[in-house]
Amino acid sequence: MPVLEEIKKANESYAADFSSADLPAPPGRRFALVTCMDARLDPAKFLGLEEGDAHVIRNAGAVVTDDAIRSLAISHHLLGTQQALVIGHTGCGMLTFKDEELQERLDTDVEFHAFPDLEDSVRAGVRRIRDSSLLPESFEATGFVYDVKSGELREVA
């Protein structure tokens, strides 16, 4: 069965028993998460989240970009989140190339935000959130690395 058909069938099954229509838009646990789009990461599972608990912002590398800051500002100012977690992960593909290589290959000047050091990238993301003029000083940010081999989460100082 093609993937699209599998997805449609799975959604039909999910919708048949759907019971979350009354969840409010603001996240119940009042936090947001910036993490990687890597398919090996299921933040709901490794953080014990249920529907409605948190905002989850995903991109390649868990990079805190202008768009991630935009989302966090909306999350905080309109929906009440009070903190963000930045969660990178071991074995991240963003460690395997340089922006210049992909820019040349694709003939573009798009910034892909590749990075050579995982923990430095997580720290930079936390710092960017803390330094953002769109978020108050009281908005907390903490960084972590998720280990794809063990499932463990380790805080990055």
Dist CA 28 CA 5 (whole Å): 33
Q: Domain residues for 58?
A: 23-156
Domain count, the chain: 1
Question: Residue 131 maps to which CATH number?
Answer: 3.40.1050.10
Structural domain contains residue 12? no
Instruction: Identify whether the C-beta of residue 32 lies closer than 8 Å to the C-beta of residue 84.
Output: yes
Instruction: Identify whether the C-beta of residue 94 lies closer than 8 Å to the C-beta of residue 60.
Output: yes
Structural domain contains residue 131? yes
Of 70, 78, 62, 64, nearest to 133 by C-alpha is 70
Structural domain contains residue 63? yes
CB atoms inside a 10 Å sphere around CB 106: 10
Secondary structure (3-state) at 115: coil
> What ranges in the chain are assigned the alpha helix state H?
3-16, 43-47, 66-79, 99-106, 118-131
Of 142, 157, 119, 111, nearest to 47 by C-alpha is 142
Structural domain contains residue 145? yes
Q: Give me 19's structure tokens.
A: 């019971």
Structural domain contains residue 115? yes
Q: What is the pTM of this model?
A: 0.94
Q: What is the pLDDT of residue 1?
A: 72
Per-residue pLDDT of the chain (157 residues; tens, 9 = 90+): 799 999 999 999 999 999 999 999 999 999 999 999 999 999 999 999 999 999 999 999 999 999 999 999 999 999 999 999 999 999 999 999 999 999 999 999 999 999 999 999 999 999 999 999 999 999 999 999 999 999 999 999 9
Q: What is the pLDDT of residue 70?
A: 98
Dist CA 100 CA 94 (whole Å): 13
Structural domain contains residue 11? no
Structural domain contains residue 149? yes
